[in-house]
Chain A
Amino acid sequence: AQSVTQPDIHITVSEGASLELRCNYSYGATPYLFWYVQSPGQGLQLLLKYFSGDTLVQGIKGFEAEFKRSQSSFNLRKPSVHWSDAAEYFCAVGSSLSSNTGKLIFGQGTTLQVKP
């Protein structure tokens, strides 16, 4: 069965420090992979996505993620965190197959707290 695991429920980093949020997935074929961010009381905003091609993808707000097929991972990184990055981060997996219904499986989310 498809699944997404975000091992870190809560992460605290200092402003200006680097960040890596982990995401592992279980999927039978080549997946579509996404990272979304949810600020308090808001909807989800897409940070970046991987469909195919270059395994290092760049997103908005200075985020990037790397698809590692051998490790079934799609970790999110940012070299220098800003206080405004404090939010909930969700990794999600979708199907790349022609039978794709658009269904996304989400991880449990990682809460990022930024210390001044």
Chain B
Amino acid sequence: DTAVSQTPKYLVTQMGNDKSIKCEQNLGHDTMYWYKQDSKKFLKIMFSYNNKELIINETVPNRFSPKSPDKAHLNLHINSLELGDSAVYFCASSQDRGEQFFGPGTRLTVL
């Protein structure tokens, strides 16, 4: 069974479009995260939710909006996509903010 899953795995879209990435974890964890990995493989946290409450909100453009319908899901919606949004987005989860388990990533390409 996949612990942290993301859909889609690949996402190719045009500038200006709106898209969503979904994340689900079946580990029973209480905290979920979104990270962005750029073309140089640098990983940076974007958001974190603990029990559906936003606890980390880094300096991310407000075109990015996370939504956590329940503890097992954390989705990322991106409005008005720009070329610079092209990256790999990773979802992760943890219990009590301990070690984090990562999903397989979603490669977003904006044309």
Q: Which residues of B contact A28 (CB under 8 A)?
A: none
Let me know if A44 and B56 touch, CB within 8 A: no
Interface window among B60-68, B78-86, B97-105: B97-105
Greatest chain B CB density within 10 A among A36, A44, A90 is at A44
The B contact surface, by secondary structure, is: strand
C-alpha spacing A46/B41, complex, angstroms: 17
List of A residues within 8 angstroms of B102 by Cβ: 36, 43-45
Q: Given the interface contacts A88-B41, A106-B43, does A34 sit within 8 Å of B99 by beta carbon?
A: yes
Task: State the interface size on chain A (CB cutoff 8 A).
Answer: 22
Cα distance A18–B92 in the bound complex, in angstroms: 31
Q: Are A100 and B41 interface neighbours, CB within 8 A? A: no
CA distance A109 to B40 in the complex (A): 9
Instruction: Please list the residues of chain B having a beta carbon within 8 angstroms of any beta carbon in chain A.
Output: 4, 31, 33, 40-45, 48, 50, 55-56, 90, 92, 94, 97-105
Given contacts A44-B92, A102-B56, A108-B40, 4 further A-B contacts (CB under 8 A): A42-B104, A43-B105, A88-B41, A109-B43
